[in-house]
Amino acid sequence: MLCACALAITGCANVPSAPDAGEKIQAASIYNPYPESAPVHTSYARFVIRMHDDPTVQAFVAKTTRENAFRKGTDLSLTGLKRLDDASLETRMRIWSKILDDASEAECVSIMQGPSSTPGLSAMDAGLIKLNQTDADSWFALAGDATLAELRQDPIPSVKREDVNEALSRIKATLSPQERLKFASALQNLRAVSPSDACWTMRILFREGTALAEPYRAAIARASLPH
């Protein structure tokens, strides 16, 4: 996913060099890692075209080298998430919940371990391939929105700590006493627990977070963003 954003920003046409800023690209000319049979194939192509044609992205690329744009492009769609509105982050949380719940245990663990240097589609890509067209479109629309929000340096909406605390209390109330302790411990330092426990924790956080009423759903959606 991060690499996809970087490729889109730097010009992901299936040619040796990136297209000129003024050149239009077509879906057929884009290197698309997703199978044509999957809805995400179309969503990704639209995302690449959107990023390639956007004046804000073009201005960013024009100010740096292709290599630097690619390197920074891997971060923009993540760092920009905090600048999106609550509704967008709630959509992201719902899709994340679907990806993790639909993943096998091995796939979920792999997702929790992060990007791999192994060639080919990742476990995260496998999750995206399972999405329906609406969710695949939303996923890449959010990636584009976050990228542009970061480039524009849009203001960062705030979240109330008391809303986050109440949201977590409501999620813990759905668990057994033993699960409650395991969940709370994992949230203290997710990187310190096993990938399997991290997977279990995030499945609960996103699934139960999506089911919360406002303002607690928005609080969890924002508090669970990567830092």
CA torsion angle 141 142 146 152 (round to 10)? 40
The yes-or-no verdict on residue 20 having pLDDT over 70 is: no
Summarize the chain as % helix, strand, coil (round to 5).
70, 0, 30
Cβ(77)–Cβ(9) under 8 Å? no
- The predicted pLDDT at position 227 comes to 75
Domain boundary assignment for the chain: 2-152, 161-223
Per-residue pLDDT, averaged over 215-219, amounts to 98
Closest to 15 (Cα-Cα) out of 68, 52, 65: 52
Model pLDDT, residue 8: 54
Residue that the structure tokens 């033993």 belong to: 178
pTM recorded for the entire structure: 0.88
32 burial (CB, 10 Å; 0-12 / 13-18 / 19+) is: buried
Please answer whether residues 25 and 52 qualify as being in contact, where contact means their C-beta atoms are separated by less than 8 angstroms.
yes
pLDDT in tens, 82-129: 999 999 999 999 999 999 999 999 999 999 988 777 778 899 999 999
pLDDT band (50, 70, 90) for residue 29: confident
Give the contacts of 157 (CB within 8 A, at least 6 positions apart): 83, 85, 86, 222
